[in-house]
Structure 1
Amino acid sequence: MQSSSISRQTKLSLLKVFIENKSLRFGKSIHAQLIKAPTFDLIQTNHLINLYSKCGHPGVARKVFDSMPERNVVSGSALMAGYLHNGMPSQALHLIKEMSFEENFEHMNEYVFATALASCSEMRALEQGLQCHAYVLKSGLVFHSHVRNALLHMYFESLSMEDALRVYESVPGFDVFALNSMINGFVGSGRLSDAIDLVSGMSKEVELWDHVTYVAVLGLCAASKDLRLGWQIHDQILRRGIQFNVFVGSGIVDMYGKCGDIESARRAFVELSVKNVVSWTAVMAAFAQNGLFEEALKLFLEMGIYGVQPNEFTYAVLLNSCAGLSALKIGDAFNAHAEKSGYKAHMVVGNALINMYSKSGSIEDARNAFGDMRQRDIISWNSIITGYSHHGLGGEALEAFHDMLTKGEVPTYVTFVGVLLACGNLGLVDDGLYYLKIFMKDLGIQPGVEHYTCMVRLLCRAGQLDKAENFMTYTCTEWDIVAWRTLLSACQVHKYYNLGKRVAEHILQLYPDDVGTYILVSNMHAKANRWDEVVKIRKLMRGRDIKKEPGVSWIQVRGETHVFASEDKKHPFMSQIHDKVSELLSQIKLIGYVPNIDCVLHDIEDEQKEEYLGYHSEKLAIAFGLISTPSGAPIHVMKNLRMCDDCHTAVKLISLVTSRKVIIRDANRFHCFDSGLCSCDDYW
């Protein structure tokens, strides 16, 4: 049969198939026949507009549209949808203005306005969205579910939750899609109590809830960490016999994980009849969110055994797990794997890379990961700002913050934690007060205890401990132990022993079993040679069965973690390590190193103190790194306690004599030692 003899109905059927399968080549053959046809066929031409739009050629679709001797509302609706789906929402809105002047478009339908509102959402064009809303109210189109839901989405994107709520409440009857949109809108804007109220109000319509509703409500339980509500929803799903598709099942796993019930998350995952990358990623995230990073990585290996391939969210979980472990080499491997798989370009992976490299001690790699991102969101900016701040690079952090503002990104609660940390690194008291009391207020961000603690740290860094105490006394917030310890630690550094004693007494009234406070107080007394007081503190600790955590340091070499303690003799290379430590100490003594025996918090002879200092755990770990890694390679060491003053001085000089960069993450912060200097500027 010749193509010219194909019936009109067959052509229409073929065009529908070509549109569905995006078969542009075959669609063009129908287009060629239409051009040769003696009469114009409106319906077939509308299908052609749809075909070119769906196949990513909105320009050709426009040419077809412009060449039509007559058009109807379907023609315009198809072209508008094409513009929107090809990332050209402004052209879609421009087209509706053209259409409104043509008499054939006098009565535009719900699909046109649903597309127009979706375009307003894409552009966050609230003013044009309000104009569309006025028209659909006048025409009665607001009662169509497509239009109503497009209105809701437009207001969500414009952060106009009150307007969205009015739209939701204005149309009678229950619409499950609208309910789902409202729940997700409230959760997305952080209005969790409103979302819970909405869900409670819709409990009578529970029989009409669908899978999407349950996923949305489970997401609400996860965001609000409302385990009780989560149990109720899980029980309701079981009682109603709702089929556990992968999204509902993964939502249950995610809910339990975010609520801290890891055993229930594990059980919910095991009970899933079908597991795909979504459910595997959900259970890995549940473990990672609860600090079980190694278990998350083991699950990834198990996922591979079942032949399930990771996606971008899986890589984000894996990289964030490496961040939790400061496992730089493993993180490097996942970085390479993500790049090979084509997922590295995803923003969620880029953000996780910044986080992993920052927390693993490689701020340069974090900087590169940030620079390589094609697109960035507020998480990207927050990650690099806080990363710089934690590495002592206050200037770089503030520069990134100002770049962010230039790009039009709006700072958040987290942003200002990084900014205030940066001010603390630089001792910028006035700047810190400006950001806290003026900038945040102008943006409507209520400061929290994290911001106030940064301010305490900033005042302490500037040596203004009395002001720090007054700030804590007169600021209305619920101070946690981190803030009080910050002030107490500064009292030790600046030798404000009387203030330190008052602060310690206050902390121990609130937290009588806090081992860190006892250690800080004991150290202060030891530095002042008040050994009787040291004895009293240690006796008090024994009486309350409070034990000091032993100091350990660890280093990863060729994928294996090596752990060191000061008095540990078990390492197979301990003889070579001790020789290397002795060699290093001899070298740095030639350029001025004098052991700081005040750092030995035991009442023993000076000679014993010097020997004791020489084999602190971080010195052992560094020595092992020097004899086990290639010349010139940076050395990354982790330590569970704060570095002592002596080790800090010694490592600065070791970095100089060995021409090696040494990065140590202690209990307080990162220290990057390079050419005799430290990124903390000798304050930690």
Structure 2
Amino acid sequence: MPTVKLFRNSHLPFLFKPKQTPATFEDPIKLLKKSADTKNLRLGKAIHAHLIISNQTPESLDIFHTNSLINLYSKCDQISSAHHLFDSMPHRNVVSWSTLMAGYLHKGCAFEVLGLFKTMVSVENLSPNEYVFATVVSSCSDSGRVEEGKQCHGYVLKAGLQCHQYVKNALVQMYSSCSEMEGAMRVLNTVPGYDIFSCNSVLNGLLEHGHVGEAMEILGMMVGECMSWDSVTYVTIFGLCAQLKDLRLGLQVHSRMMKTDIECDVFLSSAIIDMYGKCGKVWNAVKIFDGLQTRNIVSWTAVTAAYFQNGYFEEALGVLSKMELEDVRPNEYSFAVLLNSCAGLSALRHGDLLHARVEKSGFKYHVIVGNALINMYSKCGNIQAANEVFMDMTHRDSVTWNAMISGFSHHGLGKEALDVFHDMLAAGACPNHITFVGVLLACAHMGLVQEGFYYLNQLMKQFGIEPEVEHHTCVVGLLSRSGQLDEAERYMRTTAVKWDIVAWRTLLNACHVHRSYGLGKRVAEVLLQMDPNDMGTYILLSNMYAKARRWDGVVNIRKLTRDRNIKKEPGVSWIEIRNTTHIFSSDDNTHPESSQIHEKVRELLIKIKPLGYVPDIAAVLHDVEDEQKEDYLSYHSEKLAIAYGLMKTPSEAHIRVIKNLRICDDCHVAVKLISKVTNRVIIVRDTNRFHQFQDGRCSCADYW
């Protein structure tokens, strides 16, 4: 029996006037319902006290008043008091059981709900009604107990209550939330009469589990049935458009919504922003955002993500200062998008500052933030910091493992990548197709041909993963790196894969490295048939002709690119010094400190010549005198950026340079030796990979 504080009798006549006729005084049951609905526990206890006084003992309360009291205490978070009243009842009906079960469901106690249901049907031998079934099935949904949910479904069918709206909705929600989409669709298709709640549940479940085709079928049915959509429907369907990147459908849905009187709250507007962002219409997303009267962290994160997804990394980072002006604090999702934007820009300093804010804000151990930190540090060239974040994470998902494996692989640290992969398997984590791309890249960096084929043909099959073109491309790189170019070509000719430009360019790059000009010409012809305007192919082919001193070939390639109006992207390198980015082009004289930088380059080249540096004039794609070729090589953009970094950073600091093209052979040799004479770690990120130069060696082992 709950402890009830008794009020003075003078307070009670206002609520109850027992001497009046029933038609003239306020019904206690109505007052108890009002107290429960408003969670007014004080008033409810006063009514309870009056009922006890009026009926002499608690046990003498009739079943209707007791059920109302159970409802009151359940809704006021006094479930133990509700259960005590339930136990004290001499007689209980279905409403008594249903009310207490609903209380436990509200409390999140699924096990107690199922226990009460079992006692009700097996001990009390009572027949559940639609409300009991809806409550029990909902408890299975909340706790992910699909087997118990299926048993309840069997009871529902026996009771003939499957057509009741409450029960049908609960069943659809239960199957959807438990990833049993076939069950959800079966209920939806076999039970006549749809409602928007059921359709929303199924749509959400289908999207969460990747069943996009089935979601489109439900959408078509909803349109055909002329159903009235609510805001949840629109949020879900905008999510479907975003997942499909279907701008046309998104525009149609947006137009339909605009013709209704549905209030476009921050959650619905955020879904619209997300849809436009994922469909490549970033400025549509920004326009929606700018028109919002009320913004919350969800809408701020949505517009930041729209910028990021469309490559507007600087604009994404700029959102943070606007958030601060409106006193909006980033959450874990905001930080993840911002950190990934830093990765896109290779903005290490900005990433470091965000990392510090993450620590202060308490989001350090959120998996999504940890993953973004690993990605940011890996792509900004600080693989050691990425590994420190990885080792410090208390929880990891597949993205975490993949990010670290991929990070090590792209930095040429194949052994470390494979070590992480084996740790992943030991931890019981399940690899996916992204995992094996990183693993095969690691094998390629280490020349592990036999191991690579084991991972491709046996281990991937063991995990039920079908190799895709990316995995086969890694195998081409693996064979090429080990010098087996003919075998790589044979693999491409005989494997039933729809090869893309990346795969053929991988083989062409190997022909350039290994100076296999005959094969390189054949591969280039294939590439130019696939894309006659692919500048990368022309550059590699021209480089091969130049190395072979086939200047007629170089001239022909240049004429071909001119005739086809194909322009080469100018090579630039950039370095960040004290929060300022300095950009250099080859033989650049525009920098304010240009003369000092050129002098520094000359000084470095003089120092490395005794170590064996000889300018690789074959890398110069011009038929000029050798002395002039040396001048061309001396002031390539990466050399200028590195020289400036050496001038402006402390002696123990790492030098980090980004280049928009592939680093040339001469610069690669020179930077290895510069790292030795300066005792510096120099990290260069080009279009292919990271090169970490240290003590005269490069992490790529001279293959890239």
> What TM-score comes out, normalization by structure 2 length?
0.85
Q: Report what 2:103 is aligned to.
A: 78
Q: Report what 1:465 is aligned to.
A: 485
C-alpha displacement at 1:568, in angstroms? 0.5
C-alpha displacement at 1:659, in angstroms? 2.9
C-alpha displacement at 1:609, in angstroms? 3.0
Structure 2 counterpart of 1:292, which letter?
Y
CA distance in 2, matches of 1:292, 1:189: 30
Q: Deviations over 1:301-336 (max 9, x none)?
A: 334334443332222221121111111111222222
Q: Work out which of the two has the higher radius of gyration on C-alpha atoms and give 1 or 2.
A: 2
CA distance in 2, matches of 1:391, 1:151: 50
Q: Which sits farther off after the overlay, 502-511 or 277-286?
A: 277-286
C-alpha displacement at 1:110, in angstroms? 5.6
Alpha carbons of structure 1 residues 14 and 431: separation in structure 2 relative to 1, 3 Å: farther
C-alpha displacement at 1:106, in angstroms? 4.1
C-alpha displacement at 1:337, in angstroms? 2.1
Q: Report what 2:510 is aligned to.
A: 490
Which consecutive unaligned segments of at least 5 residues does structure 1 have? 55-60
Paired-residue identity, %: 53
CA distance in 1, matches of 2:288, 2:486: 53
Which consecutive unaligned segments of at least 5 residues does structure 2 have? 16-27
Structure 2 counterpart of 1:187, which letter?
L
Q: After the TM superposition, which residues 21-60 of structure 1 pair with which residues of structure 2 at under 5 Å, given as runs?
A: 39=58, 44=69
Q: Report what 2:156 is aligned to.
A: 136
What value does the CA root-mean-square deviation take over the aligned residues? 3.6
Structure 2 counterpart of 1:409, which letter?
A
Q: Secondary structure at the match of 1:240?
A: coil
C-alpha displacement at 1:251, in angstroms? 1.8
CA contact (8 A) 1:49 1:65 kept: no
CA contact (8 A) 1:92 1:116 kept: no
C-alpha displacement at 1:589, in angstroms? 3.2
Q: Report what 1:211 is aligned to.
A: 231
C-alpha displacement at 1:545, in angstroms? 2.1
CA distance in 2, matches of 1:415, 1:119: 36
Q: Report what 1:528 is aligned to.
A: 548
Q: Secondary structure at the match of 2:259?
A: helix
Structure 2 counterpart of 1:200, which letter?
G
CA contact (8 A) 1:50 1:79 kept: no
CA contact (8 A) 1:552 1:639 kept: yes
Q: After the TM superposition, which residues 269-280 of structure 1 pair with which residues of structure 2 at under 5 Å, given as runs?
A: 269-280=289-300
Q: Deviations over 1:644-674 (max 9, x none)?
A: 2222222223323333222211010112223
Structure 2 counterpart of 1:392, which letter?
G
Q: Deviations over 1:65-96 (max 9, x none)?
A: 69945585233543355354xxxx6x458745
CA distance in 1, matches of 2:702, 2:559: 33
CA contact (8 A) 2:340 2:376 kept: yes
Q: Report what 1:562 is aligned to.
A: 582
CA distance in 2, matches of 1:350, 1:30: 54
Q: Report what 2:497 is aligned to.
A: 477
Alpha carbons of structure 1 residues 393 and 14: separation in structure 2 relative to 1, 3 Å: farther
CA distance in 2, matches of 1:358, 1:506: 34
C-alpha displacement at 1:237, in angstroms? 1.0
C-alpha displacement at 1:565, in angstroms? 1.5
CA contact (8 A) 1:83 1:92 kept: no
Alpha carbons of structure 1 residues 62 and 496: separation in structure 2 relative to 1, 3 Å: farther
Q: Which sits farther off after the overlay, 72-81 or 256-265?
A: 72-81
CA contact (8 A) 2:36 2:75 kept: no
Q: After the TM superposition, which residues 227-246 of structure 1 pair with which residues of structure 2 at under 5 Å, given as runs?
A: 227-246=247-266
2:407 is equivalent to residue 405 of structure 1: no
Aligned counterpart for 1:349 among listed residues 362, 366, 369: 369
Q: Secondary structure at the match of 1:384?
A: helix
Alpha carbons of structure 1 residues 3 and 659: separation in structure 2 relative to 1, 3 Å: same
Structure 1 counterpart of 2:342, which letter?
C
Q: Deviations over 1:99-121 (max 9, x none)?
A: 46862474456666556555655
Alpha carbons of structure 1 residues 363 and 98: separation in structure 2 relative to 1, 3 Å: farther
Q: Deviations over 1:465-511 (max 9, x none)?
A: 22222222233333221111111101111111111000101111221
CA distance in 2, matches of 1:636, 1:309: 31
Q: Secondary structure at the match of 2:456?
A: helix
Q: Report what 1:671 is aligned to.
A: 691
CA distance in 2, matches of 1:414, 1:346: 22
Q: Secondary structure at the match of 2:542?
A: helix
CA distance in 2, matches of 1:345, 1:19: 36
Alpha carbons of structure 1 residues 95 and 371: separation in structure 2 relative to 1, 3 Å: farther
Structure 2 counterpart of 1:557, which letter?
I
2:408 is equivalent to residue 383 of structure 1: no
CA distance in 2, matches of 1:62, 1:410: 46
C-alpha displacement at 1:173, in angstroms? 0.9
2:325 is equivalent to residue 305 of structure 1: yes
Q: Secondary structure at the match of 1:477?
A: coil
Structure 2 counterpart of 1:634, which letter?
H
CA distance in 2, matches of 1:267, 1:649: 50
Q: Deviations over 1:591-625 (max 9, x none)?
A: 34333333233333333333432322112111211
Alpha carbons of structure 1 residues 236 and 582: separation in structure 2 relative to 1, 3 Å: same
Q: Secondary structure at the match of 1:208?
A: coil
CA contact (8 A) 1:53 1:82 kept: no
CA distance in 2, matches of 1:544, 1:405: 51
2:602 is equivalent to residue 600 of structure 1: no
Q: Deviations over 1:391-411 (max 9, x none)?
A: 222233333333333444333
Aligned counterpart for 1:178 among listed residues 185, 198, 201: 198
Alpha carbons of structure 1 residues 466 and 408: separation in structure 2 relative to 1, 3 Å: same
Q: Report what 1:4 is aligned to.
A: 6
Q: After the TM superposition, which residues 567-582 of structure 1 pair with which residues of structure 2 at under 5 Å, given as runs?
A: 567-582=587-602
C-alpha displacement at 1:33, in angstroms? 13
Q: Report what 1:287 is aligned to.
A: 307
2:603 is equivalent to residue 583 of structure 1: yes
2:633 is equivalent to residue 613 of structure 1: yes
Structure 1 counterpart of 2:659, which letter?
K
Q: Which sits farther off after the overlay, 234-243 or 522-531?
A: 234-243
2:474 is equivalent to residue 454 of structure 1: yes
Q: Secondary structure at the match of 1:202?
A: helix
Q: Report what 2:435 is aligned to.
A: 415
Q: Deviations over 1:245-266 (max 9, x none)?
A: 2222222222121111223323
CA contact (8 A) 1:15 1:30 kept: no
Aligned counterpart for 1:264 among listed residues 262, 274, 284: 284
CA contact (8 A) 2:449 2:478 kept: yes
2:665 is equivalent to residue 645 of structure 1: yes
CA distance in 1, matches of 2:486, 2:688: 22
Aligned counterpart for 1:195 among listed residues 208, 215, 223: 215
Structure 2 counterpart of 1:567, which letter?
D
Aligned residues: 669
Alpha carbons of structure 1 residues 83 and 267: separation in structure 2 relative to 1, 3 Å: closer
Q: Report what 1:57 is aligned to.
A: none
CA contact (8 A) 2:188 2:194 kept: no
Q: Secondary structure at the match of 2:6?
A: helix
CA contact (8 A) 1:53 1:83 kept: no
Q: Secondary structure at the match of 1:174?
A: coil
C-alpha displacement at 1:50, in angstroms? 6.0
C-alpha displacement at 1:442, in angstroms? 4.7
Structure 1 counterpart of 2:280, which letter?
G
Q: Secondary structure at the match of 1:4?
A: coil
CA distance in 1, matches of 2:329, 2:673: 48
Q: Report what 1:623 is aligned to.
A: 643
CA contact (8 A) 1:288 1:321 kept: yes
CA contact (8 A) 1:249 1:279 kept: yes
CA distance in 2, matches of 1:656, 1:119: 66
CA contact (8 A) 1:81 1:115 kept: no
